[in-house]
Amino acid sequence: MATIVNQDVLKKLVPLHPDEPADIVLRRLGQFNLSVLPVVDRRDITRVLGEVTLEDLLEAYRNAAS
């Protein structure tokens, strides 16, 4: 189930879209010194679909490398 948030709140966040490649996610995490970013609907950025963490990226990398 998606969560709806206020657009003013999202302006302070660094949202991702579901189709963002891992290198972009990693770049944004590092650029803003964050460990988690929200994933929002591309057509409605007030609709939060989930989150991506640095740990998620590391786990995906480990799985791809094995």
pLDDT tens string 6-38: 565 555 667 899 999 999 999 999 988 889 999
Confidence (pLDDT) at 6? 56
**Confidence (pTM):** 0.74
Residue 27 domain boundaries: 3-65
The amino acid that residue 11 corresponds to is: K
Q: CA 41 to CA 54: how far, in whole Å?
A: 20
Q: How many domains does the chain have?
A: 1
Q: What CATH number is associated with residue 9?
A: 3.10.580.10
pLDDT tens string 37-56: 999 999 998 898 999 999 99
Q: CA 47 to CA 41: how far, in whole Å?
A: 6
